[in-house]
Structure 1
Amino acid sequence: MEFDFQWLLLGLPIAFALGWMASRIDLRQWKRDQRESPRAYFKGLNLLLNEQQDKAIDAFIEAVQQDPDTSDLHFALGNLFRRRGEYERAVRVHQHLLNRADLPSTERDRAQHGLAQDYMKAGLFDRAEEAWKALEGTAFDTEARLALLTLHERSRDWRAAVEDAQKLERGSGTGSYAPRIAHYWCELAVEADARQQASDADEALRKAREAAPQAARPLVLAGERERAAGRHAQALECWRTLLAAHPDAFALVARDYASSANAAGESARALIELQELYGRMPSLDLLAAIGMLEPDAAAQRQRVAEHLVRHPSLSAARELLRLRIAARGNTADDEVAHIEAAITHAAKPLQRYRCAACGFEAHNYFWQCPGCLSWDSYPTQRLEDL
């Protein structure tokens, strides 16, 4: 049977026409999908700008369903879930992205970064730590190391925090972390002392002073430990280094310094040093220490009275009244005593330290703010001395 080429001539135009029609149908469908996807995306963006997050999430979900391969829509949706506090849904979005085999490495790192943020916000710190560690060596390396440092500070894992800070100092170019490293070693020294492991505390304090030789806290802590051990001469040596390097912080140890000076037989020298410092940085803490070195009651009343004239404050007025009542003994006027008690009550809020970063106030001095966890954010002067 011979093949009739006429059928071929007739079939070719028909096949071409059918193919053309099919391509036009697919092209129209593709164009329609492309139009609908941006429309849903821009609708979500508009709702987001109008702070209608619930409707924005619905619009983004619609856009993702129409174009499931677009990673940017997934990132937008994941960020929205995290901002809304729907951390579980945010985690699922970023994990879905990480499970895609076709995702480029830069987008994969971005998804890992989003996942780490989800865990961090959700308070799942163990998972957040693993997620941040997976970002080391990527474009998010510095941010990951800073996040790990924050995590280890919160968990009080000071040795891990030391390693984090050392890595940041070596590779990130974000500045010196030596003062913070010194704080970590001081924390370890305090913990070792609490466990009565004096040798570990000595080693930690040595590393703190090695990390930041002129930092205030290692000098304060070293003097306190020497004084507690009865080595008053060594304590004075530590605190004199503090006086030279950080005179503004010396008021924190002024009373202990006076006590150790009396015990070591160096009262005269210490009195001269404290008087000279008071002339530059007057405070009631220094006046109290001076009174311990020169305990004459009349002289101390005169000093406090002069301080009250030059630097009026409730605490100075209270101290002067207290000294006058003590001088009168049993003949003290009850009304004066009541006035002294009222001033004492009113002065208490002004005797606090206030964090310069967040405003958290405390009666005790903190090297790290309990409120915002900032280091060295407390001025060493009390509120009424500022």
Structure 2
Amino acid sequence: MEFDITWMLLGLPIAFALGWLASRLDLRQLRIENRQAPKAYFKGLNHLLNEQQDQAIDAFIEAVQKDPDTSELHFALGNLFRRRGEYERAVRVHEHLLSRADLAKSDRERAQHALSLDFLKAGLLDRAEDALRKLDGTRFQEQAWLTLLAIYERSREWPQAAETAQRLQQSGHGDFASRLAHYLCEQAATALVRAKDPASARTLLQKAINDAPQAARPRIQLAALLAGQGDQAGAFELLESVQKYAPQALPLVAAELLRTAQASGQNQRALALLTQSHEEFPSLDVAEAIVQAELAAGTPAEEARQWYIRHMQQEPSLIAAARWLAHEPFAHEQAHPTVQQSLDHAARPLARYRCAACGFEAQAYFWQCPGCQAWDSFPPRRIEEL
């Protein structure tokens, strides 16, 4: 049978025409889908900019349904759920992304990080910790370590916090020496209060002093421990060393320094140190300690109280004025209690401490702010002196 080339010549144009027609239909369908997906996406974006989160979520869900392979839409949707507090839905979105075998490595890392934030916002700290640990070796590693550090501090897991801080320091992310000293102090407080183990507490505090000589807290805390055990001389020497290593913190221990000095018979030594400190860094607490030291040494009250005047000459102070006037005679003595009460009432808010990071105010001094959780954010000066 001979091959008839005529049929081949007739078939080629027909096959070409059919192929062209099929491609046109595919392109048309693709254009329709591409127009629909961006339209839904931009519709959601518009709602988001107008703070209409419910409508934005509906639009993004529609966009995801039209193009389920688009990871960016999943991320946008998951972030919206998290912002609205719908953490379970946010977790499902990000876990769905992680389950995709075709997801790029960068998107997988991003999804893992987003999932850890979902757990963290939901208060599921254990699951957040597990998710964050999976980010080791990724571009989110340092962010994960910082978040883990915050989790450990929040849950007061000080050994784990110390390990994480050391990793951050070794990676060049910052100097965590002072914070590591705080962790040792926290562990020492736990050993002393809960475990009733002063030996372990003393070892931890000594290590903190050795690791961070400029940190005031370990010296102050160890001095309190020694004083509680009856070693007033050892406590005084530690508090005296604060003037050398952390002079700005001396006002915090001025009263205790004087007490331990009197208990160990070193009142004059303490008085000389306090006087020197006040000359270099005038402080209301130091001035008050000097007044008490002078009175204890037998100095007449009128002469000892002149330190309030000296302090006000260097730094105007309503608190110092109120304390000086408390023992001054009035021409109308019957009005003295009323005037003194008014002065004390006006001065009381000025005697607080204030966090430099968030403005939280407190009567007591905190090494970690109860408001913003920042370390060493309270200046060791009263509000009046700032």
Asked if these proteins are the same fold (TM beyond 0.5), I'd say yes
Whether contact under 8 Å (1:259, 1:292) holds in the other structure is: no
Structure 1 residue 11, shift from structure 2 partner = 5.2
Counterpart secondary structure, 2:101 = coil
1:252 aligns with 2:216: no
Deviates more, 1:65-74 or 1:297-306: 297-306
Residues 355 and 361 of structure 1 are in contact (CA less than 8 Å); yes or no, is this contact kept in structure 2? yes
Q: Return the offset for 1:355.
A: 0.2
Structure 2 residue 106 is the aligned partner of structure 1 residue 103: no
Residue deviations 1:325-348 (CA, integer Å, cap 9, x gap)? 7xx9xxx93420122122212211
Q: Structure 2-normalised TM-score?
A: 0.92
| Residue identity in the other structure for 2:360 | F
Deviation of 1:128 (Å): 1.0
Equivalent residue in structure 2 for 1:298, among 280, 286, 302: 302
- The question of 1:320 aligning with 2:341 is answered no
Tell me the alpha carbon deviations over residues 299-334 of structure 1, each in whole angstroms, 9 at most, x when there is no partner: 222222343454332211221133337xx9xxx934
User: What is residue 154 of structure 1 aligned with on the other side?
Assistant: 154
Paired with 1:182 and 1:334, the residues of 2 have a C-alpha distance of: 53
Shift of 1:155: 0.4
- For 2:165 and 2:183, how far apart are their aligned partners in 1? 10
Q: How does 1:33-52 map to 2 (within 5 A)?
A: 33-52=33-52
Hey, what does 1:272 align to over in structure 2? 272
Mapping of residues 224-239 of structure 1, within 5 Å: 224-239=224-239
- Alignment-derived partner of residue 174 in structure 1: 173
The residue matched to 2:326 in structure 1 has which SS? helix
Q: Is the 8 A contact 1:301 1:324 kept in 2?
A: no
Matching residue of 1:207: 207
Tell me the distance in 2 between the aligned counterparts of 1:241 and 1:43. 66
CA distance, structure 1, for counterparts of residue 307 and residue 9 of structure 2: 119
- Of 112-121 and 39-48, the range deviating more from structure 2: 39-48
Residue in 2 that maps onto 1:370? 370
1: distance between equivalents of 2:307 and 2:14? 113
Q: CA deviation at 1:224?
A: 1.7
Q: State the alpha-carbon separation in 1 of the partners of residues 11 and 268 from structure 2.
A: 118
1:366 Cα deviation from its structure 2 partner: 0.3
| Distance in 1, Cα, partners of 2:170 & 2:315 | 47
Q: How does 1:16-165 map to 2 (within 5 A)?
A: 16-165=16-165
CA distance in 1, matches of 2:226, 2:35: 76
Unaligned runs of 5+ in 1: none
CA distance in 1, matches of 2:81, 2:275: 61
Aligned residue in 1 for 2:193: 194
Query: Any idea what SS the aligned residue of 1:294 has?
Result: helix
1:281: how far off?
1.9
Which one is further off, 95-104 or 234-243? 234-243
Deviates more, 1:352-361 or 1:15-24: 15-24
Superposed CA offset, 1:193-249 (max 9, x none): 112211220121122123212211111112222222221221222122210122111
Deviations 1:247-282 (A, max 9, x none): 111011111111111122211121111111112222
Indicate conservation of the 8 Å contact 1:87/1:119, yes or no.
yes
Q: CA deviation at 1:42?
A: 2.5
In structure 2, the partner of 1:341 is 341
Cα deviation, residue 18, structure 1: 3.1
How far 1:84 sits from its partner (Å)?
2.4
How many angstroms apart in 1 are the aligned matches of 2:96 and 2:146? 26
Which amino acid in structure 1 is aligned with residue 321 of structure 2?
Answer: A
The secondary structure found in structure 1 opposite 2:80 is: helix
Structure 1 distance, partners of 2:78, 2:274, is 60
Output the CA distance in 1 between the equivalents of 2:345 and 2:133: 51
Q: Give the superposition deviation at 1:57.
A: 2.2
Please state how far the C-alpha of 1:130 moved relative to its aligned partner. 1.1
Q: Distance in 2 between matches of 1:255 and 1:156?
A: 30
Give 1:43's aligned amino acid: K
CA drift at 1:288: 2.2
Give 1:5 shift: 7.7
**Alpha-carbon distance between aligned partners in 1 of 2:284 and 2:20, rounded to the nearest angstrom:** 94
Percent of matched pairs sharing the same residue: 54
Q: Return the alpha-carbon distance in structure 1 between the equivalents of residues 22 and 284 of structure 2.
A: 91
Q: By how many angstroms is 1:183 displaced? A: 0.4
Question: Contact between 2:240 and 2:257, CA under 8 Å: does it hold in 1?
Answer: no
For residues 339 and 191 of structure 2, the distance between their equivalents in structure 1, rounded to whole angstroms, comes to 46
CA distance in 1, matches of 2:211, 2:108: 37
2:223 maps to 1:223: yes
CA-CA distance at 1:13 after TM superposition: 4.5
Cα deviation code 1:35-82 (max 9, x no counterpart): 222222223233333433333222222211111001111111111222
- CA shift for structure 1 position 16: 4.1
Corresponding letter in the other structure for 1:276: Q
Contact 2:354 2:362 in 1 (8 A): yes
Look up the match of 1:185: 184
- Pairwise CA distance, 1:291: 2.5
Worse-superposed segment, 12-21 or 90-99: 12-21
For residues 79 and 269 of structure 2, the distance between their equivalents in structure 1, rounded to whole angstroms, comes to: 63
Which shows bigger deviation, 231-240 or 132-141? 231-240
In structure 2, the residue corresponding to 1:365 is in which secondary structure? coil
Instruction: Give aligned pairs, total.
Output: 381
Residues 87 and 118, structure 1, Cα contact 8 Å, conserved in 2 = yes
Q: CA deviation at 1:167?
A: 0.8
**Partners of 1:293 and 1:164 in 2: CA distance:** 45
